Structure 1
Amino acid sequence: MDLRLDDLSVDLGGRRILRALTLDVPAGQVVGLVGPNGSGKSTALRCVYRALTPATGRVLVGEHDLTAMGLRDAARHVAALTQDSGSDLDFTVAELVALGRAPHLRGNQPLGARERELCRRAMERMEVSHLAERGVLELSGGERQRVLVARALVQEPRVLVLDEPTNHLDVRHQLDLLALLREVGVTVLVVLHDLNLAAAACDVVGVLGEGSLVAAGPPEKVLTEHTLREVFGVEATVVAHPLTGDTQLLYRLPSTKGPR
C-alpha cells in the first residue's frame, strides 16, 4: 500500500522543525530518510505513527488520511519501531512479541492458532526463539531490538516505519535486518544514519537538511559528492560496489590533505 507524506510541517518549541515535506513511498518499496542530526528525519516518522500531529499536511495510507482513522485501525495499517521502543515492564520475549497482535484482537481475547504461529515464525525469523521465556529487561540492546522487530512483523502492517533500526545490532544482524526489509513485501519507511547501508538497502533515498527535503530518488542519483558536501559537510568519493554495483561512499577525514 502506498504511503504519502503530503506537505508535512511540524512546529516544536516555537520552531518549525519540518518544512512542507512531500515524499511518496510506493507500495512494497523501501524508502530511506537520511540527513544530519536535527534535520527532521525522526520528526517525519513520528507523524506517520501518530506521535506528533503536523501543523500542516497529511499522512496518506493508500487514499486514507491516517490521522482521521481510529487508533486501532491505524495500528492495523502502520507498525513502528522507534528509538524509544523499549519496554519498562519485564514481559517475556514471547509476551512482548504477542503484543503485536493487539490491534487485531478485542479485549482479553486469547491468541488463536494463527496468532501463535505468526509469533513463532517472527521470532524464528529474527533469531530470538531461544529467548522466548527470557525477560525483556535481561536482554542486550541488540537482542531487544530484534525482539521489537519481531513484534512489528507480527502486527502484519501494510506500512512499516523504523527509526534507526540497526542501532545496537552487530554487523551481521544489521545486514540481515536490512535484507529482511526488502523481503517482507510491505511498504517501508526507514531512517538510517549509515549512508552505505541506506544505499544498499533502499530503493529510494530522501535527503533532509534543516527540515526540508533536499533530494529524493535512487541512491546513485541522490548520494552524490556534491550532496554529501553541501548537506553533510563531508568529503567523500562515490564508487560502485565491485560485486553488487550498489553505490558506496569512501569518506575522507577532515585532517587529510591528500593521498598518502
Structure 2
Amino acid sequence: MTLLLDELSVSIDGAAIVEDLTLAVEKGQVVGLIGPNGSGKTTALRCVYRALRPAGGAVRVDGADLTRVPLRDSARMIAALTQEDGADLDFTVEEIVALGRAPHLRGNQALSARERELCRQAMSRMEVAHLAHRGVLSLSGGERRRVLVARALVQEPRFLILDEPTNHLDLHHQIRLLAMLRDTGMSVLVTLHDLNLAASACDRLTVLSRGRLVAAGPPREVLTEALLRDVFGVEASVVPHPLTGVPQVLYDLGSATSSTEGTPA
C-alpha cells in the first residue's frame, strides 16, 4: 500500500504555502520531511490527516483520492501525531490511549479483550504503563507526547503521520521512539528538525524550501554541505557515522548565514 502526495498545493489567505509537492511513502518505509521553519512541512501533513483540503493535487492511498474515502475509513488507515497535543479534559492516560480504537468501534461499544491488551502493550512500549491511572493534564510535555504516540499505535494504522514527534522528549525517549518506528514495519511520514536523528531513522529524506520540494532520496544523497548552506543557511560539515555510515551533521555555532526563509506555514 502506497501513500502518495500527488502534486499537492495549498494556499492560505492567498499565499501559496505548498506548491506542486509530490512524494511517496511505500509500504514499510520511514520517510522524513525536513526543511526550515515555514517551509510547509506541517501544512503538507495536515492534508494527509485531512485537517486541510488541498487547493490542488491530491493525497492518494493506492491511487484512491483520500477526500473520497469516508472519514471513519481513512481514520482506520492513517493515524496522526500533531504538534498541537493539548487536552482540555483530564482523561486518564489509559482512557486517552483507548481513544485510538474509536475508528474501529460503533457507539458506546466496549473494548474487547484483544483491544485492552493492545492498549497495555502500546503503553508499555512507550514507557507510560505506570502512568495509566494518572490524569493526562498532570503529565510533563514529554510524558504526554509518549501517551499520544501510544494512542496512535493502538489505532493500528497502515500509515503513521508524525509532526515533530521528538518535541519535549529527552534523549533516551527520542532514540527509543525513532528506533520503534523502524521496528514496527509501518509506513511512516515524519517531520524532524534534528537532521542527525532524521538521517539515522529514515529510509528516505525529502526536503522542502518555501513550499517546494528541493531534494529527495536516501540520507547519504540528500544531506550535503551545499544543501545545508542553500536551504538552511548554515555552514556545516557532513561526516559518516563511525558505526553506521549514515551522514551526521557537525555544526559550528558561528556558522549561521543570512537566511531568506520567511513564508509562514
Above 0.5 in TM-score?
yes
Q: Residues 255, 227 of structure 1: CA spacing in aligned structure 2 closer, same or farther, 3 A cutoff?
A: closer
1:182 aligns with 182
Counterpart secondary structure, 1:253: strand
How far apart are 1:159 and its partner, in Å?
0.2
Measured in 2, the distance between the counterparts of 1:190 and 1:28 equals: 13
1:141 aligns with 141
Unaligned stretches of 5+ in structure 1?
none
Identity %: 71
Measured in 1, the distance between the counterparts of 2:31 and 2:86 equals: 24
Q: Residues 255, 2 of structure 1: CA spacing in aligned structure 2 closer, same or farther, 3 A cutoff?
A: closer
Measured in 2, the distance between the counterparts of 1:196 and 1:177 equals: 15
Q: Residues 213, 114 of structure 1: CA spacing in aligned structure 2 closer, same or farther, 3 A cutoff?
A: same
How far apart are 1:85 and its partner, in Å?
2.5
Moved more, 60-69 or 128-137: 60-69
Counterpart secondary structure, 1:23: strand
Query: TM-score, normalized by length of structure 1?
Result: 0.97
Given that 2:42 and 2:163 are in contact with CA atoms closer than 8 Å, whether structure 1 keeps it comes out as: yes
Q: Residues 191, 255 of structure 1: CA spacing in aligned structure 2 closer, same or farther, 3 A cutoff?
A: closer
Matched, 1:173 2:173: yes
Residues 74-95 of structure 1, C-alpha deviation per residue, up to 9 Å, x if partnerless?
1000000000133211100000
Measured in 2, the distance between the counterparts of 1:100 and 1:116 equals: 11
Given that 2:235 and 2:255 are in contact with CA atoms closer than 8 Å, whether structure 1 keeps it comes out as: no
2:262 aligns with none
1:153 aligns with 153
2:16 aligns with 16
How far apart are 1:245 and its partner, in Å?
1.0
Measured in 2, the distance between the counterparts of 1:73 and 1:65 equals: 13
1:50 aligns with 50
Divergent runs of 4+, >4 A = none
How far apart are 1:253 and its partner, in Å?
2.4
Measured in 1, the distance between the counterparts of 2:73 and 2:52 equals: 17
Measured in 1, the distance between the counterparts of 2:225 and 2:165 equals: 26
Counterpart secondary structure, 2:254: coil
User: Which residue identity does 1:175 align to in structure 2?
Assistant: I
Residues 169-208 of structure 1, C-alpha deviation per residue, up to 9 Å, x if partnerless?
0001000000001011111000000101100100000010
Counterpart secondary structure, 2:193: coil
1:63 aligns with 63
Q: Residues 255, 15 of structure 1: CA spacing in aligned structure 2 closer, same or farther, 3 A cutoff?
A: closer
Measured in 2, the distance between the counterparts of 1:62 and 1:184 equals: 21
Measured in 2, the distance between the counterparts of 1:149 and 1:55 equals: 30
1:191 aligns with 191
2:92 aligns with 92
Measured in 1, the distance between the counterparts of 2:159 and 2:4 equals: 11
How far apart are 1:62 and its partner, in Å?
1.8
Matched, 1:209 2:209: yes
Q: Residues 90, 27 of structure 1: CA spacing in aligned structure 2 closer, same or farther, 3 A cutoff?
A: same
Counterpart secondary structure, 1:243: coil
Counterpart secondary structure, 1:177: helix
Measured in 1, the distance between the counterparts of 2:206 and 2:36 equals: 12
Unaligned stretches of 5+ in structure 2?
257-265
Measured in 2, the distance between the counterparts of 1:58 and 1:36 equals: 24
Given that 2:76 and 2:157 are in contact with CA atoms closer than 8 Å, whether structure 1 keeps it comes out as: yes
Residues 183-241 of structure 1, C-alpha deviation per residue, up to 9 Å, x if partnerless?
11111000000101100100000010000000000001001001000000001111001
1:106 aligns with 106
Measured in 1, the distance between the counterparts of 2:181 and 2:87 equals: 23
Q: How many residues align?
A: 256
Measured in 1, the distance between the counterparts of 2:59 and 2:86 equals: 25
Counterpart secondary structure, 1:254: strand
User: Which residue identity does 2:218 align to in structure 1?
Assistant: P
